[in-house]
Amino acid sequence: MQVIIYNREKEEGEILNHLSNITNNPSVSERKISKDEFLKGVHQGIPITLGYIPVSFTFGLMAVDGGIPIWMTILISLTNLTSAGQFVGVSLIIADTSLFEITLATFVINIRYMLMSLSLSQKISPKIAPLKRCMMAFGITDEIFTVASLEEQEVTFSYMMGLTICPYFGWALGTILGAMVTSVLPQALQSSMGIALYGMFIALIVPVAKRSKAALVVVIISVLISSSFKFLPCINVISDGWSIIITTIIAATIGAFIFPKEGD
Amino acid sequence: MSKKLMAVFLMAVVTYAIRVLPLMFCRNKIKSKFFKSFLDYIPFAVLGAMIFPSILFSTSNIYFSMIGMIVALILAYYEKGLLTVAVSAVLVVYCCELIF
């Protein structure tokens, strides 16, 4: 009898030890943090997703209208995840241009992601493994990058995955809907949806520009330069892709000259 | 592989390579204060360049787009959410299309 009680106490002790091991176990608390980070990302990704659906819907409509098979249109959205690049790439495919031109155009239009990726590399821990970096890189779009880069803290793997997942599937879903439903929406609504993504950009940028003079000045410079590329007669031959690249480099350089950031 | 499929493949490879290379190979924290500030200002520079003047040509009518833009700016100034701002801009443009 005593032996049994002794054994039970011993067992209970072991169980308690085991339990306290679980709660103190760093991997468990880390997992909890990752989950919170992931959910935070998902939460912040929802507005991006809703902004993407009308855009990818338009993309689906346009591609299928131009003669790209439905399955290929969806494949493009699943593998590319980029608005301007896909629109231009598909219009070149439809126009039957050479593979070299399509590749070069994609490169020029998307080269801004290189700057974003470089910028993001400064906001993540140097310890993040290569495979995780590969997965994080896939989600670098203008909107996802902007939301991630406006984060105060270090950008973690879980946060980035959470932030990417909904926009990724939203992008695909919008494409599928657009590819299937060729013209159910009234024309007026279809055309007014074009402004949705820009409205989202404005909502991203204005609250920050309101508080930071540096951000406001960079935005104004950037708007002035990109407008010159569009409206000044001698330089308006430049493509939209190049215009964004050149404008970004000039405006960010001027910003860094006038307002170099202090601290770390 | 058809030419179309080849083009899709090349687009995907190029786009991904651009995204992954800096993130993979730039592991050291950049020391230069100037370059760090430059990278910090990139999102604002990109967004500014992407919004204007493209927003004017995003709907069927440049004046409708302008009205939509002003509504978006006002709502964003009062810090309404992303979706509220985007949907309001769409609805304003849609109303313009219906009225005029």
Quick: pLDDT tens for A34-50.
889 999 999 999 888 98
Interface contact A258, partner B, CB < 8 A: no
Q: Across the interface, do B77 and A196 touch by the CB < 8 Å criterion?
A: no
Q: What is the mean pLDDT of residues A41-65?
A: 85
Supply the ipTM of this predicted assembly: 0.85
More confident call, A201 vs A40: A40
Nearest CA in chain A to B100: A188
The mean predicted confidence, pLDDT, of chain A is 82
| Type of residue at B58 | S
Q: Would you say the C-alpha torsion B10, B46, B48, B86 has a positive or negative sign?
A: positive
* Burial group, residue A152, by CB count within 10 angstroms (0-12, 13-18, 19+): exposed
Nearest CA in chain A to B86: A199
Q: Across the interface, do A196 and B86 touch by the CB < 8 Å criterion?
A: yes
B82 to chain A: which residues are within 8 Å by CB? 47-48, 50-51, 200, 203-204
Nearest CA in chain B to A119: B39
Q: What is the mean pLDDT of residues A3-16?
A: 50
**Cα(A137)–Cα(A160) distance, integer angstroms:** 9
Percent of chain A clearing pLDDT 90 (strictly above): 35
Percent of chain A clearing pLDDT 70 (strictly above): 85
| Of A103, A134, A218, Cβ closest to residue B14 | A103
B84 to chain A: which residues are within 8 Å by CB? 203
**CA-wise closest residue to A92 among A112, A66, A111:** A66
Kind plus residue range of the DSSP H or E element containing A177: helix A157-180
Tell me which of A6-15, A53-62, B26-35, B80-89 is least confident: A6-15
**Residue A237 contacts residue A250 (beta carbons within 8 Å):** no
DSSP state, residue A212: -
Token pair in block for residue A248: 């970004």
pLDDT surpasses 60 at A13: no
Q: Across the interface, do B5 and A72 touch by the CB < 8 Å criterion?
A: yes
Q: Across the interface, do A248 and B42 touch by the CB < 8 Å criterion?
A: yes
pLDDT at A126: 86
More confident call, A200 vs A141: A141
pLDDT at A2: 46
Q: What is the mean pLDDT of residues A113-119?
A: 88
* CA-based nearest distance B2→chain A, Å: 11
Q: Which of A64, A119, A236 to mutate to test the interface with B (most CBs of B within 10 A)?
A: A119
| Of B29, B37, B93, Cβ closest to residue A259 | B37
Task: Say how many residues make up chain B.
Answer: 100
Partner B, chain A 29-88, Cβ-Cβ below 8 Å: 47-48, 50-51, 54, 68, 72, 75-76, 79-82, 85-86
pLDDT surpasses 60 at A21: no
* CA-based nearest distance B85→chain A, Å: 6
pLDDT tens readout for residues A123-154: 888 889 999 999 999 999 988 998 998 888 88
pLDDT tens readout for residues B14-44: 999 999 999 988 877 777 888 888 877 877 8
pLDDT surpasses 50 at A98: yes
| Type of residue at A186 | P
Neighbours of A23 (CB within 10 A): 8
Q: What is the mean pLDDT of residues A23-31?
A: 62
pLDDT at B73: 97
Q: Can you say how many angstroms the Cα of residue B74 is from the centroid of all Cα atoms in its chain?
A: 19
Query: DSSP readout, A40-102?
Result: HHHHHHHHHHHHHHHHHHHHHHHHHHTT--HHHHHHHHHHH--HHHHHHHHHHHHTT--HHHH
